[in-house]
A and B are shown apart, each in its own frame.
Chain A
Amino acid sequence: MAILSLEHIKKYYATQKAVDDVSFTIEEGSIFGLLGPNGAGKTTLLRMITGIFYPDEGTIIFDGKRFDPLNDITKIGYMPEERGLYKKMKIGEQALYLARLKGLSRNDAMQKIKYWFEKLEMQSWWNKKMEDLSKGMSQKLQFVTTVLHEPKLIILDEPFSGLDPLNANLIKDEIFNLAQQGSTIIFSTHRMEQVEEICNHIILLNLGKKILDGTVKGIKQDFKENAFSIQLAEAPLSVESNAFEVIDVDNNHQLTVKIRDGYRSNDVLSYFLQQGITIESFSEILPSLNDIFIRLVEGTHATTRSFQKIA
């Protein structure tokens, strides 16, 4: 079942189309990646999903009903990219305040704060002030305040920026846990290696338009170039075949080959088998999301857009 679906969402500013006719659907319990270069319209899109902005056109269906920001806001946890907390306020009070703004009662909030603080080893922070925390610590606290009210939909905009690998892994595990328990996670970033690791489903936004939508596996299949890597035991004298061409050879007799149209991978193997060369390994080379991202976005002048007037 879809927790969120966007239908022809548009948001135009005076000088540009920030989000231009974007539609997609997110399944409940999935980890969804929202990708795009700076200024692609990710933040604007997220602000519409969190009810901060209203779309100019289009509808948002949340949890089976038309999105009602006033009430649905409590079922959403949003960690914006531009985030921070009150500097002079005590950590504990701060968490309590934010939880209660999400509609939790004082007792409920206290219980949940206790649970999370213990889980992430933050109990001793209660009476500290924001200004006493390191950047990584405040990121952790920020994450806790985002998920404290057990939202159905968790939106994380660049959640790992500023975290060391240890804490990043801690948060990553929690994200997987939350997804397993049924929460849906929207994950916005331009760090592709994290997306490959975490997300099931991604869309790519550029210049306000959706240019890619699918599962990580599916997209990689769509963008593959029929390239294979083949490890041979000894160097072949010369390679001459109608089925494929050799793109690259390295010193350890590892070849990168591209199969021509109308041939299959088996044709590569049978060629080397006929030559009597021992094959040690054979695998398909799939493009990384990073490659796909760069290929799609490069040359569209996407980066200059972020400097234009937004208001």
Chain B
Amino acid sequence: MLLPVLFRKLLKTLLPNYFMNKTGLIIQREYLSRVRNKTFVITTILMPFLFALLIFGPAYLSMRDRENLNIAVIDNTGYFKDNLEDTKEITFSFPLDVDTTNYASKGYSAVLLIPKSIGNAGNNYVLRSKKTLGIGSKGAIESKINAAIENKLLQDAGIQKSQLDSIHTQSQTATLNTIEEGDNNKTKESNQLLAYGIGMGSGFLIYLTMLIYGMMVMRGIMEEKTSRIAEVIVSSVKPFQLMMGKIIGIGAVGITQFVIWIALVILIMVGVHVFAAPETLQQVQAMQQNGGVMGGNNMQVSQTAQAIYSVQHTVGSVNWGLIIGCFLFYFLGGYVFYASLFAAAGSVVDDVQSSQTLTVPITMPIIFSFIIVANAVNNPDGSLAFWGSIIPFSSPMVMMARIAYGVPGTVPYWQLFLSMFLLIAGFVFTTWLAGKIYRTGILLYGKKTNWGQMMKWAFRKA
């Protein structure tokens, strides 16, 4: 109940009073009739779980389904027997009675043939198997063979095996800490993985909600048209008020949903604090003061404390105010931009089937934008990402993917403001356009209309 009131206050300051009284009523009806609906409650609660399933499900399945290979090696050099290391999934064995004809019957998944001399380029290592190997397994086998060759060549050059082992363990300790330089010599840790997650997540969320709520607007308008209430209502309010009331009302439903989700996340965080043991929390606090290192004292840090610290630390490194603010802006901007186009389409059709041909030109840019997002999270400075984040058709999704990498580091302020400005200009244009089409379309029954005709309505004089 609070949100529509806030919205009305905001709109009242922006728009003349006569517009608001009635539009406010329409917004209220659109909002309440949806929020009170059972489907809303269920989807709001189930969505986060569905999301988690979507993200973790594939990862879990791919973990579980790793190939376990037992490879028989036919080694004529005799060298590999001690030097070819097993991995988690791949075991190398050196049985004597195996050849290329009988490895399968002896329980091996593949047979590896080592050529007579090693180290010379062009020598063929052959792996025979009944089924095609995954690309990961092929790479792993190659690198193991290469490592073995390298060891062999180094030992040939006179380095002891024990020396070699210690070199290996020492050389693999480097981890890269990336520090981002900000203004006033302030630096902060940057976290590419988190930025990737936030960028991809918010891009995807905007993509999904824009489609869902856009379609909801279209269905609502079609319902008004087919149930023949449209003309009754437009004899009380202007068609534009009816259209905007619907768009804003459904947008408020979307915001409500986000607020509930954010509240759920905060609740979980608080829950962790409440249910964690007090000494764990003390440890976390101590770690925060010392910048993550338990220096000096011999206090044992429990694993839980470490986990909480690392989550809080990573989460704390992100400018959440900026991200959430931008997210809401781009969600609303993108939503109004596309919802008005959906509204225009909904106003001219009578049935679901003919609506489909009209919605394709609207959904295509949304889907295409999401493809740009997938590119932008990997390469936020690329020119595809740049243009995608400026042009209003794709900016709501693509800019969110870039913002996660930092403002003004990756996205300079001028780009952010230009993108925001163009998005506002964009949705002012689409709502104007949609209003014109809607006004004619909503009162027209039993006629097939295409986008060409709709454009004619839009650009003719009153």
Q: Which residues on A are within 8 Å of B, measured CB to CB?
A: 47, 50-52, 54, 70-71, 73-74, 76, 78-80, 82-89, 97-98, 100-103, 130, 142, 145, 310-311
Those 9 A-B pairs whose CB atoms lie nearest each other, nearest first: A84-B228, A78-B235, A101-B236, A80-B231, A84-B227, A50-B235, A82-B228, A84-B229, A102-B236
B217, chain A: closest CB distance, angstroms: 16
**Once bound together, how far apart are the Cα atoms of A86 and B224, in whole Å?**
7
Asked whether, in the complex, the Cβ of A83 is within 8 Å of the Cβ of B232, the reply is yes
Q: B103-111, B202-210, B254-262, B437-445: which one contacts chain A? A: B437-445
What are 30 A-B pairs at a CB distance below 8 A?
Answer: A50-B235, A52-B234, A52-B239, A54-B462, A70-B18, A73-B236, A76-B235, A79-B232, A80-B232, A80-B235, A82-B228, A83-B229, A84-B227, A84-B229, A85-B227, A86-B223, A86-B224, A87-B227, A88-B33, A89-B33, A98-B236, A101-B26, A101-B233, A101-B236, A101-B237, A103-B21, A310-B447, A311-B440, A311-B444, A311-B447
- Chain A residues lying within 8 Å of B18, measured Cβ to Cβ, are 70-71
**Contact A310 B444, CB 8 Å, known A70-B18, A82-B228:** yes
The answer to whether A97 touches B25, judged by C-beta atoms less than 8 angstroms apart, is: yes
Q: Which of B1-60 contact A (CB under 8 A)?
A: 18, 21-22, 25-26, 29, 33
A310 to B447, CA, bound (A): 9
A106 to chain B, nearest CB (A): 10
- The verdict on A98 contacting B231 (CB below 8 Å), with A311-B440, A311-B444, A311-B453 known, is no
Residue of B nearest to A94 (CB): B229
Q: Which residues of B contact A74 (CB under 8 A)?
A: 236
CB distance from A197 to the nearest CB of B (A): 26
B236 to chain A, nearest CB (A): 4
The reply to whether B227 and A52 form a contact with Cβ atoms under 8 Å apart is no
Question: Which of B22, B443, B462 contacts A52 (CB under 8 A)?
Answer: B443
Contact B231 A83 (CB under 8 A): yes
**A311 contacts which chain B residues (CB < 8 A)?**
440, 444, 447, 449, 453, 457
CB neighbours of B231 from chain A (8 A): 52, 80, 82-83
Separation of A79 and B237 alpha carbons in the complex (Å): 14
Q: Which residue of B lies closest to A84 (CB)?
A: B228
Most chain B beta carbons < 10 A, residue from A74, A87, A101: A101
A87 to B457, CA, bound (A): 30
Residue-wise interface mask of B (207-244) relative to A, using a CB-CB cutoff of 8 A (1 in contact, 0 not): 00000000000000001100111011111111100000
Contacts of B26 in A (CB 8 A): 101
A51, B188: Cα distance in complex, Å: 61
B interface: dominant SS: helix
Tell whether, in the assembled complex, residue A82 and residue B25 are in contact, meaning their CB atoms are under 8 Å apart.
no
Chain A residues within 8 Å of B21, by CB: 103
A150 to chain B, nearest CB (A): 14
The answer to whether A101 and B444 have CB atoms under 8 Å apart is no
Listed residue (B234, B235, B237) with the most chain A CB atoms within 10 angstroms of its CB: B235
For chain B, the bracket of interface size reads: 20 to 34
Bound complex: CA A102 to CA B26 (Å): 12
Report how far A82 CA is from B230 CA in the complex, Å.
9
Note all chain A residues with C-beta closer than 8 A to B457. Answer: 311
Chain B neighbourhood of A78, CB < 8 A: 232, 235
A229 vs B26: C-alpha distance in the bound complex, in angstroms?
A: 61
When the two chains form their complex, are residues A101 and B25 in contact, meaning their CB atoms are under 8 A apart? yes
- Who on chain A is nearest to B231 by CB? A80
Q: Report how far A54 CA is from B29 CA in the complex, Å.
A: 28
Residue of A nearest to B235 (CB): A78
- CB neighbours (8 Å) of B234 from chain A are 52
Q: Which chain A positions have C-beta within 8 A of B223?
A: 86-87
Is the Cβ of A85 less than 8 Å from the Cβ of B229? yes
Give CA–CA (A97, B224) in the complex, Å: 15
Within 8 A of A (CB), among B406-462: 440, 443-445, 447, 449, 453, 457, 462
> Does the CB pair A85–B236 fall under 8 Å?
no
Give chain A nearest CB distance to B449 CB in angstroms.
8
Provide the residues of chain A in CB contact with B238, threshold 8 Å.
70
**A308 to B: closest C-beta gap in Å:** 11
The chain A residue with its CB closest to the CB of B462 is A54
B460: nearest chain-A partner, CB-CB: A14
Instruction: Kindly report which residue of chain A lies nearest to residue B18, judged by CB atoms.
Output: A70
Question: Once the chains are docked, how many angstroms separate the CA of A122 from the CA of B6?
Answer: 37
Partner of B228, one of A52, A83, A97, A100: A83
Per the bound structure, the CA–CA distance linking A98 and B449 in Å amounts to 30
Q: Within the complex, what minimum Cβ distance (angstroms) separates A287 from chain B?
A: 35
User: What residues on A are CB-neighbors of B443 within 8 Å?
Assistant: 47, 52, 82
Determine the residue in chain A with the shortest Cβ distance to B454. Answer: A311
What CA separation (Å) do A70 and B224 show in the bound complex? 22
Known A-B contacts A82-B445, A86-B229, A311-B447; A52 and B453 likewise in contact (beta carbons under 8 Å): no
Whether A98 pairs with B453 at a CB distance below 8 angstroms is no
Nearest chain A CB to B1's CB is how many angstroms away?
A: 15
Shortest Cβ gap from A291 to chain B (Å): 32
Q: A80-B232, A82-B231 are in contact. Are A97 and B453 (CB under 8 A)?
A: no
Residues of B within 8 Å of A130, CB to CB, are 227
Query: A43 CB to closest chain B CB, in angstroms?
Result: 9
Question: In the complex the two chains form, what is the Cα distance from A78 to B236 in whole Å?
Answer: 9
- The minimal Cβ–Cβ distance linking A155 to chain B, given in whole angstroms, is 8
Residues of B within 8 A of A85 (CB): 227, 229, 232
B 382-426 to A, binary, CB cutoff 8 A, 1 in contact else 0: 000000000000000000000000000000000000000000000
Contact at B29–A97, with CB atoms within 8 Å?
yes
A169 to B252, CA, bound (A): 45
Q: For residue B235, which residues in chain A have a CB less than 8 angstroms away from its CB?
A: 50-52, 73, 76, 78, 80
How far is it, in angstroms, between the C-alpha of A176 and the C-alpha of B378 when the chains are bound?
Answer: 74
A287 to B213, CA, bound (A): 59
Give Cα A83–Cα B235 distance, bound, in whole angstroms.
Answer: 11
Within the complex, what minimum Cβ distance (angstroms) separates B41 from chain A? 16
List 6 additional A-B contacts (Cβ < 8 Å) besides A50-B235, A78-B232, A102-B236. A54-B462, A80-B231, A80-B235, A82-B443, A85-B227, A130-B227
CB distance from B346 to the nearest CB of A (A): 16
